[in-house]
Amino acid sequence: MFDQCSLPETAVCNAMMAGFLRNQQHTEVPKLFRMMGSCNIEIDTYTCMFSLKACASLLDDEIGMEIVRTAVRKGFRLHPYVGSSMVNFLVKCGYLDDAQKVFDGMPEKDAVCWNSIIGGYVKKGLFTEAIQMFPEMIGGGLRPSPVTMEASIVFERMGKKNVITWTAMLVGLSQNGHAEDALKLFCQMQVENVAANSVTLSCACCAHLGSLKKGRSAHAHLIWHGYAFDAVITSALIDMYAKCGKIHSAEKLFNNGFHLKDVILCNSMIMSYGIYAHGHYALGVYGRMIEERLNPNQTTFVSLLTACSHSGLVEEGKALFHCMERDHNIKPQDKHYACLVDLLSRAGRLEEADALVKQMPFQPSTDVLEALLSGCRTHKNTNMGIQIADRLISLDYLNSGIYVMLSNIYAEARKWESVNYIRGLMRMQGMKKIPGYSLIEAGNKVYTFFASDDSHPNWADIYQLLENLRLEVETEGYIPDTSCVLRDVNEPMKVKLLWGHSERLAIAFGLLSTPYGSLIRITKNLRVCVDCHNVTKYISKIVQREIIVSITLLIGNAHVMITGNEDLLRTMMHR
C-alpha cells in the first residue's frame, strides 16, 4: 500500500518508520528519511525522533548528524522528545561534547534525557563527570530512575570510599549550586574520618563563591580544625576573596603564602588582579616569579594575558605572548591565541586581531573567533562581525550565543530587519537568549533580580527609589546612553528600559535592605552595559556607598566612598 502512494504524507511516513522500528528494521528508517527530503515531504518532530532512534541503534553518525542539523534548523531542538533523542544519539555515537550542548540548552529534561547523558559518562568511564551531574538532576526535582541512579550508585556502593570519590561528589554539589549540601557532605567526610585532601578542602571553600559571609565561615572552619594551608587551599581562598570584592584579603593570603613558591598560588593571584583590571599588579607577580626562579606554566600566561586584556595593556600582552616559547619553552595553545585576540579586539585593533587569526598554526577554535566577534560588536565593525559570525555558525550551529551576538551587532547598526531575521531564525531553531540576572546577598539570603523584575515583595519601593535616584543623578550631570538599548523603541522607552536593568534593581534593593555604610556587592551573569557602568559611579557618589558590580571574569567597577550621608538617602527613599 505504501509503495502505491505517489506522494506519501508525513503521517504515513512516520507510521512506516514506527513499524520499521517495532520490527527491528532500523536500516529502513534513514532511507525513508532521505526519501522524504528528496520528495519535499514535510519533516516533523516524530520524523526526527524515529530517525534518530534508528541511527542511534545503527551507530550511523553520518545520516544521524544530518538529522540533528535538520532538527536544529526546524526549531525542534527544544522539543522534549526530540531533544532526548538527539542526546541519546550523540552519546551513543561518541559525541559527548555535542550531547552536553544539546542537553544544556533543553528547558525541560525528563528522566530519559538524564539517563542518556549520565549513562554516557558512566559507560565512558568518566565517573567524576557522571557523579557531578547527579546533584543537578536531584536539584531539578527529578527522582532518579534505575539508570540515572548509576551516578549515585557509583558513589554509594564503592564500599570504602576514598577521598577522590568524596571529592567528585563534592565538586558536583558545589558546581550545581548546592552549597549547603556540599558543606554537609564535607562534614560527613569528617564524621567518617575521611582525610580530606587539598582539592576537597578547596571545593568546600569554592562552594560559597559569591557569598563573603559563608566564604569567611569556610575559611574559619579550616583554621579551627587546624588544616595546613598549602598552595591549593590558599589559592581557593584567594579566588573566593577576590570574587567577593576583598582583593586586599586576597593579597594578604598571597603574601603570607608566597614562601611556598608554588605556581598555582601565583596564578590565582594573577587572575584575581585581572578580575579588577589591575594588570600592572599582575605583571608584578610575574616579575616576582622570575626573580625567585619559579617557572610559569601555560595557565600563568592565560591569566597574564587575561589581566592585560582587561587592563588595556596591549604591548605588554603582546610581549608576554612572544616570550612564552622564547624564554620559557611554552608553545602557545589555542587558549593563549584566544586571549591575545581578545586583547587586540578590546583595544580596537581588529585588523591586527584578524591577521593573527589567519596566521595561527592550527585552525582557530570557536573561543578565538568569539573573541574577535565580541570586538567587532564593541567597535561597531558590522561587516567583519557578519563574516566572523557566519564562520562561527558553520563551526558551532548549536551555540545560541553566536546568534545573540550577531543580532546585537545588527541592532547597534540599527539594521532592524536583519535583527528580526536573526531572532526569527533563533525562534525557529528553538534557541533562547540567556536572560541576564543580578544577585545580591542580604540577611543570609541571596536574592535574584531580572530585567524589569516586579516579582519581589518590595518591588514598589525598589522602583520608587530608582526613580528618585534617576532625578538625583541627572542633576549631577548623568546623561543616559540609550545606544545600550538594542530594541527599536522611542527614546523615553529606552531610558525606562535602562532603569529596569537587573543590576540597578539589585543596587536599589541593597540600599533598602543592607546596613548603612556597608558594601553593596552585586554579581551578574552577563556583561555590564556601558550605561550601568556609568550610572553606578553617580549612584555611589550620591549615596556615598561602596558598590561593586562583578561578572564572571571582570569587575565592572568598584566605587569607594568612606563616609556617607544617611539623611540624604533617607530623604530619597521617602520622597
DSSP labels for 424-486? HHHHHTT--PPPPEEEEEETTEEEEEETT---STTHHHHHHHHHHHHHHHHHTT----GGG--
State mean pLDDT over 497-509.
95
pLDDT tens for each residue of 433-476: 778 888 888 887 778 899 998 888 889 999 999 999 999 999 99
C-alpha cell at 257: 603564602
Higher-confidence residue of 454 and 182: namely 454
Indicate the pLDDT class of residue 272, thresholds 50, 70 and 90.
very high
Predicted confidence (pLDDT) at residue 274 exceeds the cutoff of 60: yes
Report how far residue 343's alpha carbon sits from residue 234's, in angstroms, rounded to the nearest whole number. 29
Full-prediction pTM beyond 0.85? no
Q: What is the DSSP code (8-state) at residue 125?
A: T
At residue 381, the 3 state secondary structure works out as coil
Indicate the pLDDT class of residue 216, thresholds 50, 70 and 90.
confident
pLDDT at 340: 97
Domain 229-332 has CATH 1.10.540.10: no
Report how far residue 128's alpha carbon sits from residue 155's, in angstroms, rounded to the nearest whole number. 9
AA identity, residue 468:
N
pLDDT at 230: 81
Question: Cell match 544544556: residue?
Answer: 104
Predicted confidence (pLDDT) at residue 307 exceeds the cutoff of 60: yes
**Class of residue 78 by CB neighbours under 10 A (exposed 0-12, middle 13-18, buried 19+):** middle
Indicate the pLDDT class of residue 552, thresholds 50, 70 and 90.
very low
pLDDT at 203: 53
Report how far residue 476's alpha carbon sits from residue 336's, in angstroms, rounded to the nearest whole number. 43
**Class of residue 269 by CB neighbours under 10 A (exposed 0-12, middle 13-18, buried 19+):** buried
Report how far residue 142's alpha carbon sits from residue 115's, in angstroms, rounded to the nearest whole number. 11
Report how far residue 378's alpha carbon sits from residue 349's, in angstroms, rounded to the nearest whole number. 11
pLDDT at 368: 94
User: What residues have CB less than 8 Å from 269, skipping those under 6 apart?
Assistant: 238, 250, 251, 254, 282, 285
Report how far residue 399's alpha carbon sits from residue 389's, in angstroms, rounded to the nearest whole number. 11
Alpha-carbon distances, residue 456 vs 70, 133, 449, 501, 506 (angstroms): 41, 31, 8, 15, 11
**What is the rounded average pLDDT for all residues in the chain?**
81
Indicate the pLDDT class of residue 484, thresholds 50, 70 and 90.
confident
Tell me how long the chain is.
575
Considering 384-388, 410-414, 508-512, the range whose residues carry the highest mean pLDDT is: 508-512
State mean pLDDT over 79-101.
89
Higher-confidence residue of 529 and 510: namely 510
pLDDT at 218: 74
Indicate the pLDDT class of residue 170, thresholds 50, 70 and 90.
low
pLDDT at 176: 55
Report how far residue 470's alpha carbon sits from residue 480's, in angstroms, rounded to the nearest whole number. 10
User: What residues have CB less than 8 Å from 133, skipping those under 6 apart?
Assistant: 114, 117, 118, 121, 151, 172, 176
Give domain limits for the chain: 10-92, 229-332, 337-434, 437-573
Report how far residue 415's alpha carbon sits from residue 406's, in angstroms, rounded to the nearest whole number. 11
